[in-house]
Amino acid sequence: MTYTREEWVERLNTAAGAGGFLDLGDESAPFPADALREFIFRGGPDLDYPAGITIFSVRIEGLLDLSYLTFLRPLRILGSFIEGPVDLTASTMGTLDFTGTSVQSLSMDGAKVTGDVLLRDGFKSAGEVSCLGTQIGGTLALAHATLQNRGGIALGLDGAAVTGGIVADNLRTTGVVRGVGVRVAGQMILNGAKLINEGGTALSLDGAEIHAGLFASDGFTAVGEVRALSASIGNWLSFRDAHVVHDGANGVALDRSTITGILDLRGATFTNPGGDALSIENLRIVGNVLMSDAFRTEGRVRAGGIKIEGSLSVEQASLNNAGGDALSLPGAEISNGFFARQLTVHGRVFAPVLLVGGQLDMEGASLINHDDATLLLDGSTITGDFLLRQCSVIGGISASGLKVSGRFILAGTELLSEKTGALWLAGASIREMILGNLRVEGRFDLTRASITELDVVGDPPAPLAAAGWDIGNLHGPMHNNWAAVDRWLATAPAEVSSVQPWQEMADVFKNNGNPSGARHLRYSAAKRLARQSSTFEKAVGYANQAVIGYGYYPFRVVLSFAAVLFVTWALVHLGRSNIVPAKPEEALKAVQAHAAQTHTQAPQSPITGATPCEILHPSYPCLQPITFTFTNLLPTSGSTSITPDWGSRSDSWLTVALILSKIIAWALVALFLAGISGLLRKE
């Protein structure tokens, strides 16, 4: 049966008067769109029927133009099909309910709805649903709706204001969901939604204000970029168990936004190979950031300048960007701890000038980056403990200038990087450093590091570069084991020539009441310094070492003096014929007296030290080589002999030898005195 427009208007009036229901499911005739406009226009803004109008199962032909109309009663078109666009531009409505209805497109730009807008449970749009600047006094419901506008905007909410919330569980869209500057007083719920705009933006909420939280969890899927730049989100932003896939600059971008609650990314997967899987630069979060419980990324996580007033957790996460930065945190500030237990990273963790209030816990983490340092913390500050226990770091750690106010524990960890060095802590300041049972391949650099308490258990990490370091105290098995310390310091790379590490550890041993260990370490330092000197200085140094042990073993001079004494005695013994009586007349009288007593002929040869003693004795003292030698070496006279009885001939080689021996003896005595007084020790 065919009705005129007037007849349709009358039917609507009749239905409204009977409770507002018009069920056209059994009719084949299409409903003219202009009849509904005429009905609303004639009825005025208030109409006499509080229930409004509800239309079931109708096929509406033509453009449904309700623009600029005012209708403060509920308007419900349920389970219907509207062949043309729906235009509600600048209209004023009470409640709009299009549940289960299919439309070509829907425009509500500038509209004001005092109640709910229900586009749910089977609602479909073949074109854009546009709500630019729309004011909704209740809830915008899009649960289980399907919006399609491939290559364009599927849902436009720019500048919209929703007093209630946006409920879009299991929403399906093809095209952009765009809400730039949208204001939502309640929650925005996208749990289980699937937003597809491959190669473009799937969800844009730049500048949005969502006061009670944004939830895109429980299987939320986006193919395309998800972004909320400079947005303000209260209470909770959740992407828990979400999946975002994109091939472009950013996968999920929240840069410069503010979250006054928790950012929950637990179990989510963000994939954007070659780009940023997650960009949260300069994000401010009042609560915690949870990137844990199997959170996974393919691409970079960029979080430079982020400020987290709670904690950051990446425990059991997997961050993958081989050959680049997997996690970038330059200048980030985390107020209440950074927890990265069981974290797996393929790529670099780039976090210079990071500030962590509380502890940084990376126990059990696995970090792999073959091209560069895997963990970069240069200039960072950790006010609590830095825990690297049972970790595997392939690529090394660079932490020059790191400040750790608590303990830095490296225990049961492997640091492997022949290319870049296993650990760089140049200029670091650490209250307590504990090294235990490490496997190290590559340079372990503590150059200019200041460590108040150092505890080394097991084999110390090597090779060690520690020039200029400052150690307050040493604990563990090395506490009193100077030899172990010496061996550790001796592993320094060939290009590191400083002996300061030995001197520093010697001070530690001295302060710990072990002067012997301190002396041994200073002696090792002196030997190492001598080996690095020029040829002449090296020769002098070796002589110094042999004679008095660089001043640390002055009693070695006794052995040297004994050697000089023995050599001189041997020379005296061999050169007795060059030794003559100091009083030749008395010696001659003694010989003559002996000849008279024994009735023998006095020897015609000159009297020398080689003359038999019995010829002289007892009238003239015999030559005693050992006494002659000793008295000639004593630094008590400038003559060649201190005895009045014997002396060497001035023109003999023995005189020269005795002078040289005396000079050497005097020098040895001087070195001995300098050694025991500490003048030769470099401390």
Query: pLDDT per residue over 547-587, tens digit each?
Result: 555 556 666 667 777 888 888 888 888 888 888 888 887 87
Q: Which two three-digit tokens encode residue 124?
A: 């479909």
Q: Are residues 199 and 323 in the same domain?
A: no
Q: Once rounded to an integer, what is the mean pLDDT over residues 53-76? A: 90
The yes-or-no verdict on residue 546 having pLDDT over 60 is no
pLDDT at 639: 44
Q: Are residues 201 and 328 in the same domain?
A: no
On whether residue 83 sits in a domain, the answer given is yes
On whether residue 166 sits in a domain, the answer given is no
Instruction: Quickly state the pLDDT bin for 425 (edges 50, 70, 90).
Output: very high
- 484 membership: H or E segment, kind and range: helix 482-489
Q: Are residues 129 and 191 in the same domain?
A: no
On whether residue 161 sits in a domain, the answer given is no
* Average model confidence (pLDDT) across the chain: 89
Domain range for 45: 1-144
Q: Are residues 298 and 370 in the same domain?
A: no
pLDDT at 97: 97
pLDDT at 674: 64
Distance CA 312, CA 456 (A): 30
Distance CA 34, CA 384 (A): 71
Q: Are residues 259 and 346 in the same domain?
A: no
The yes-or-no verdict on residue 22 having pLDDT over 70 is no
Q: Are residues 207 and 342 in the same domain?
A: no
Q: Are residues 306 and 324 in the same domain?
A: no
pLDDT at 557: 67
Alpha-carbon distances of 495 from 5, 396, 491, rounded to whole Å: 97, 20, 11
Q: Are residues 191 and 321 in the same domain?
A: no
Look at residues 251, 278, 310 and tell me which one is the last residue of a structural domain. 310
On whether residue 294 sits in a domain, the answer given is yes
Interhelix angle 556-574/625-633, rounded to 10 degrees, is 130
On whether residue 168 sits in a domain, the answer given is no
- 574 membership: H or E segment, kind and range: helix 556-574
On whether residue 522 sits in a domain, the answer given is no
On whether residue 403 sits in a domain, the answer given is yes
Which of 171-180, 531-540, 575-584, 606-615 is the most confident on average? 171-180
3-class secondary-structure state, position 192? coil
Q: Once rounded to an integer, what is the mean pLDDT over residues 254-272? A: 97
The yes-or-no verdict on residue 545 having pLDDT over 90 is no
Number of structural domains found in the chain: 4
Interhelix angle 625-633/653-677, rounded to 10 degrees, is 60
The 10s digit of each residue's pLDDT in 241-253 is 999 999 988 999 9
3-class secondary-structure state, position 237? strand
Say what percent of the chain tops pLDDT 70. 89
The 10s digit of each residue's pLDDT in 502-518 is 999 999 999 999 988 99
Look at residues 275, 310, 345 and tell me which one is the last residue of a structural domain. 310
Distance CA 415, CA 632 (A): 65
Distance CA 280, CA 314 (A): 15
Q: Which of 226 and 53 is assigned the larger pLDDT?
A: 226
Instruction: Quickly state the pLDDT bin for 40 (edges 50, 70, 90).
Output: confident
The yes-or-no verdict on residue 376 having pLDDT over 50 is yes
The yes-or-no verdict on residue 365 having pLDDT over 70 is yes
Instruction: Quickly state the pLDDT bin for 680 (edges 50, 70, 90).
Output: low
The 10s digit of each residue's pLDDT in 297-327 is 999 999 999 999 999 999 999 999 999 999 9
CA 447 to chain centre: 18
Q: Is 617 left (phi over 0), alpha (psi -120 to 50) or beta?
A: beta
Look at residues 310, 339, 356 and tell me which one is the last residue of a structural domain. 310
Q: Which of 320 and 676 is assigned the larger pLDDT?
A: 320
DSSP 587: H
Q: Are residues 14 and 84 in the same domain?
A: yes
Q: Are residues 192 and 96 in the same domain?
A: no
The 10s digit of each residue's pLDDT in 270-305 is 999 999 999 999 999 999 999 999 999 999 999 999
Q: Is 235 left (phi over 0), alpha (psi -120 to 50) or beta?
A: left
Q: Are residues 211 and 322 in the same domain?
A: no
Q: Are residues 239 and 292 in the same domain?
A: yes
Q: Once rounded to an integer, what is the mean pLDDT over residues 108-123? A: 97
- 507 membership: H or E segment, kind and range: helix 500-511
The yes-or-no verdict on residue 540 having pLDDT over 80 is no
pLDDT at 226: 98
On whether residue 528 sits in a domain, the answer given is no
